């Protein structure tokens, strides 16, 4: 089928389009800058600008599925201006896609929209599934508004899947790229107290989950995009130390992390213990269910 991927030039999207191509799908990437992106992308992928004024909506008409990954990175100091950009970039992109779906004569059968485990808010030891109540902090309300914007496609007859993604582990980029330098310099260790939970997923498993959501009509609504075995920050640091053959006992104290990152520190200092109840219930098989093997794959060697 033809799959239109918005925001597909980034850390998750660049592996997703490769996997969709390998499965025989026809891939269209919507990007804000088609000239910049085209060099790094396979010639079989259609790279289409969806900058204001560009004609891109006809690609949505007749597409089999839409994936929406677009949004400004949250990995920055959350000033009021940054927060506004984080929210607006997600809502505007999702609203644009839903408007194009509404106009389409032949509507796609599915919209798979990114979301994040931040939707549950900081929850201590509680084990969270798709049925758990949502949080009320900045990330939680942002994700809830994002999911609501995507759900506008539902009454148009489109199946909507919302991938509540944890910390994605992959080579080159993502959260791991920021954690590796201190570990490689023998200065690694847990961030904050170490007891906070971290819900992670190997990027290959996340990409497989996106394909699963695209192809499986039973996937409807929220789907936790996390490995079945979340770990504490301390266990994560130990596993990363093992994968890199480096020590992992130098912790970064929470007050220093708060000073450095501001409100955004909640992402690493609080965390959530999220499990993929729905994906497992629907028969999705994780290639990397355990943190040690996942980190050996992405950081070892």
Ligand X SMILES: NC(=O)c1ccc[n+]([C@@H]2O[C@H](COP(=O)([O-])OP(=O)(O)OC[C@H]3O[C@@H](n4cnc5c(N)ncnc54)[C@H](OP(=O)(O)O)[C@@H]3O)[C@@H](O)[C@H]2O)c1
Q: Which residues bind ligand X (CB under 6 A)?
A: 7, 9-13, 31-33, 37, 69-73, 89, 93, 114, 116, 165, 167-168, 174-175
Measured from the CB atom, the residue of 86 and 235 that comes closer to ligand X is 86
Measured from the CB atom, the residue of 73 and 79 that comes closer to ligand X is 73
Q: Rounded to the nearest whole angstrom, what is the least distance from the CB of residue 186 to ligand X in the complex?
A: 26
Measured from the CB atom, the residue of 33 and 250 that comes closer to ligand X is 33
Determine whether 50 is exposed, middle or buried from the number of CB atoms within 10 Å of its CB (0-12, 13-18, 19+): buried
Q: Rounded to the nearest whole angstrom, what is the least distance from the CB of residue 159 to ligand X in the complex?
A: 19
Q: Rounded to the nearest whole angstrom, what is the least distance from the CB of residue 168 to ligand X in the complex?
A: 3
Measured from the CB atom, the residue of 85 and 247 that comes closer to ligand X is 85
Provide the H-helix boundaries in the chain. Answer: 13-22, 34-38, 80-103, 138-150, 174-184, 203-215, 233-244, 254-261, 266-269, 277-281, 291-299
Q: Is 151 helix (H, G, I), strand (E, B) or coil?
A: helix
Measured from the CB atom, the residue of 63 and 201 that comes closer to ligand X is 201
Q: Rounded to the nearest whole angstrom, what is the least distance from the CB of residue 104 to ligand X in the complex?
A: 21
Q: Rounded to the nearest whole angstrom, what is the least distance from the CB of residue 162 to ligand X in the complex?
A: 11
Whole-number Cα distances in Å, 169 to 33, 36, 203, 234: 26, 25, 5, 16
Residue nearest to ligand X (CB): 10
Measured between alpha carbons, how far is 23 from 40 in angstroms, rounded to an integer?
20
Name 117's bridge partners.
Answer: none
């Amino acid at each position: 089928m033809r799959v239109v991927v918005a925001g597909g030039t980034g850390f998750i999207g660049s592996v997703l389009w490769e996997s969709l191509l390998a499965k025989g799908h026809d891939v269209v990437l919507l990007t804000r800058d088609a000239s910049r992106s085209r060099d790094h992308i396979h010639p079989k992928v259609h790279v289409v600008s969806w900058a204001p004024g560009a004609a891109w909506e006809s690609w949505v008409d007749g597409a089999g599925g839409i994936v929406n990954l677009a949004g400004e990175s949250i990995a920055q100091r959350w000033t009021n201006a940054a927060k506004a950009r984080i929210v607006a970039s997600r809502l505007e992109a999702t609203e644009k896609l839903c408007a194009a779906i509404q106009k389409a004569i032949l509507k796609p059968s599915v919209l798979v929209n990114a979301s994040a485990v931040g939707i549950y808010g900081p929850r201590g030891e509680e084990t969270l599934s798709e049925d758990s109540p949502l949080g009320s902090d900045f990330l939680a309300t942002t994700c809830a508004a994002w999911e609501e914007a995507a759900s506008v496609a539902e009454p148009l007859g489109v199946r909507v899947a919302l991938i509540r993604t944890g910390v994605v582990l992959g080579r080159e980029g993502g959260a791991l790229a920021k954690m590796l330098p201190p570990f490689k310099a023998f200065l690694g260790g847990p961030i904050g107290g170490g007891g906070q939970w971290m819900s992670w997923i190997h990027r290959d498993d996340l990409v497989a989950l996106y394909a699963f959501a695209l192809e499986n009509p039973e996937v409807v609504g929220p789907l936790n995009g996390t490995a079945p075995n979340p770990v504490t920050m301390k266990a994560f640091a130990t596993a990363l130390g093992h994968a890199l053959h480096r020590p992992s006992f130098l912790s970064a104290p929470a007050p220093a992390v708060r000073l450095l990152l501001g409100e955004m520190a909640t992402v690493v200092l609080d965390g959530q213990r999220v499990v993929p109840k729905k994906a497992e219930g629907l028969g999705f098989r994780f290639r990397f269910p355990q943190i040690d093997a996942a980190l050996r794959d992405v950081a070892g060697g």
